[in-house]
Structures are given as C-alpha cells and as structure tokens.
Amino acid sequence: MNKFLIFGGTTEGRLLAEYCDKNKIFCTVSVATEYGAELLPRSEFVAAETGRKDRSEIAELILSCGFAAVFDATHPYAAEVGKNISGACSDTNTPYYRVIREPSPLCEEALYFDTADMAADFAWKTSGTFFIATGSKELPLFCRDGLPERCIVRVLPDENVIRECEKMGFMRIISGKGPFGFEENVQHFRGCGYVITKESGSAGGFEEKRQAAAAVGAKLIIIKRPVEKGMSLLQAEKLLSELSESGKE
C-alpha cells in the first residue's frame, strides 16, 4: 500500500488531503503551523506533520516513512520551500510532483510589480494610505522611513506575528484567517488609496479583493506570481488515485 507526502498549508493542500480521506488513500500532510493542521480532515487516512523543515529534514522525513511520492502544493510564492522539497526528493530518489494554482485573469486597472520589494519602493515614493494584504513575511520590506505609519496590514491572528508587526512600526493591524469575502474586504479597504496583494488566484480570494478594491475606489497593486510548471489540482487527484491503485497490485 503506497503512502504519500503532501506539502500543504494552502487551499490546494487541504483539498488534496480531503481527496485522500474520501478515497481512502493514506497520506501525511506537512504544514508549517498548527493552524494549517487544524484545517485538515481528522481521519485514519490523513496524518499531519507540523513545523517548517529544511532540505535535510525533509529528506529524513521521506526516508523514515518510505513515502512513494511527494506532492508539493505549497504557496506559489514560497520559492525557497519548493526548492527544499524538490531537492530532498532528488536526494532520496523520490518522485516529485508540483501542484500549481490556477492563474488569475489579467487585471487591466491594476499596477503590476515583479517583486514585493518593488511594490514597497512604489509605496514609499507615493503618498496615501496603503493596505498590505500580502501576509506578514513581506512586511520587513515596507519598513522604510515613515511608511509603516501610512499602512494598514492584515495578518494571521497570531500573537507573535502581531507583536512583530508592532515592533516594525505597524500599528494599524487587522488579524484574521482568510481567504476573506467581498464584504469583509470592503470593510477593511475603506479609506485606503491602494491595496497591495499577491496574484493568489481564486483559492487565495483574489477576485474578492479585486472587486472590493474597485468598490472603495482603491488602486490595486499586484505582486506577480513566479512562473512555474506543474500539474493542476484535478491532475494531482487523478495521479494520487492511479499511484494508490498501482501500490495495491
């Protein structure tokens, strides 16, 4: 019987876990936080592995559990994590499959930047209030003279994260678990001239953010998604079934 390792912490990772549960496919889902583990099905077919791991730790996990294949459904902007996962699979001769998120349609009224650093530079040079909906990892890039005072940030409801935001000078903080709906976004964005977000696709609530920004008259600033190759969620589900069945023969 084959057993699979899924790297999640995303909508795609959760849906793959639910697919395994429904189809009685044994898997372990690696997530960075306890919150990510809470979203997974409670099932004999789905085990949670919590905590961030480097390349060697991932390789050790793969070898110790004897996984038949690894499915990388991590966030499209988590490039370093993806390199560690694919590298560990190469080190252990384990099949690696990248699950990619469906792209968002082009937003003609938005400003696009290749990196979060470039978006932060634009914000620093531009007057007005900015709503930062990129997550907490990019916030240090926005710690430029006087900029945190003009920003509203939205992060997970984690005391450590909120404390770090305050240390960086961000005092207007909204905490919550996304993705957020249109009405919530409207409430959060009201009074802001700009909204900075990632090209997170439907799974990340991108369309709701786009519509809410338009509703309150805020300019949308989008950090482009890295170009990558891989398979869709449906293709990954099909492959999981095929590999699981082949392991029973």
pLDDT in tens, 102-130: 777 778 889 999 999 999 999 999 999 99
On whether both 126 and 217 belong to a single domain, the answer is yes
Residue 241 included in any domain: yes
On whether both 115 and 173 belong to a single domain, the answer is yes
Percentage of the chain exceeding pLDDT 90: 70
Residue 106 included in any domain: no
Rounded to a whole number of angstroms, the distance between the first and last alpha carbons of the chain is 9
Instruction: Find out whether 136 and 159 touch, Cβ atoms under 8 Å.
Output: no
Mean pLDDT of 208-215: 94
Mean pLDDT of 224-243: 91
pLDDT for 132 equals 96
Residue 97 included in any domain: yes
Mean pLDDT of 223-236: 90
Residue 122 included in any domain: yes
Half-sphere exposure of 197 (CA within 13 A, CB side): 28
Residue 239 included in any domain: yes
On whether both 48 and 145 belong to a single domain, the answer is no
Could you report the per-residue pLDDT of 125-178, keeping only the tens digit for each?
Answer: 999 999 999 988 899 999 998 999 999 999 988 888 999 999 999 999 999 887
On whether both 96 and 137 belong to a single domain, the answer is no
pLDDT for 10 equals 85
pLDDT for 249 equals 57
Q: Angle formed by the axes of helices 79-92 and 55-65, to 10°?
A: 50
Residue 119 included in any domain: yes
On whether both 147 and 187 belong to a single domain, the answer is yes
On whether both 10 and 96 belong to a single domain, the answer is yes
What distance in Å separates the CA atoms of residue 176 and residue 173, rounded to the nearest whole number? 10
Within 10 angstroms of residue 246's Cβ, the number of other Cβ atoms is 10
On whether both 178 and 151 belong to a single domain, the answer is yes
Q: Within its chain, how far is the Cα of 141 from the centroid?
A: 18
Residue 10 included in any domain: yes
What distance in Å separates the CA atoms of residue 139 and residue 130, rounded to the nearest whole number? 12
Instruction: Find out whether 1 and 26 touch, Cβ atoms under 8 Å.
Output: yes
Instruction: Find out whether 44 and 213 touch, Cβ atoms under 8 Å.
Output: no
On whether both 135 and 205 belong to a single domain, the answer is yes
Confidence of residue 248 (pLDDT cuts 50, 70, 90): low
Domain of 201, CATH number, reads 3.40.50.720
What distance in Å separates the CA atoms of residue 49 and residue 54, rounded to the nearest whole number? 14
On whether both 21 and 75 belong to a single domain, the answer is yes
On whether both 56 and 160 belong to a single domain, the answer is no
Task: Count up the domains in the chain and report the number.
Answer: 2
On whether both 135 and 183 belong to a single domain, the answer is yes
pLDDT exceeds 60 at position 1: no
On whether both 89 and 47 belong to a single domain, the answer is yes
pLDDT exceeds 70 at position 96: yes
Q: Where in the sequence is the domain holding 56, given as residue range(s)?
A: 4-101+227-248
Q: How far is CA 188 from CA 94, 120, 123, 216, in A?
A: 44, 20, 18, 10
Q: Which amino acid is at 83?
A: K
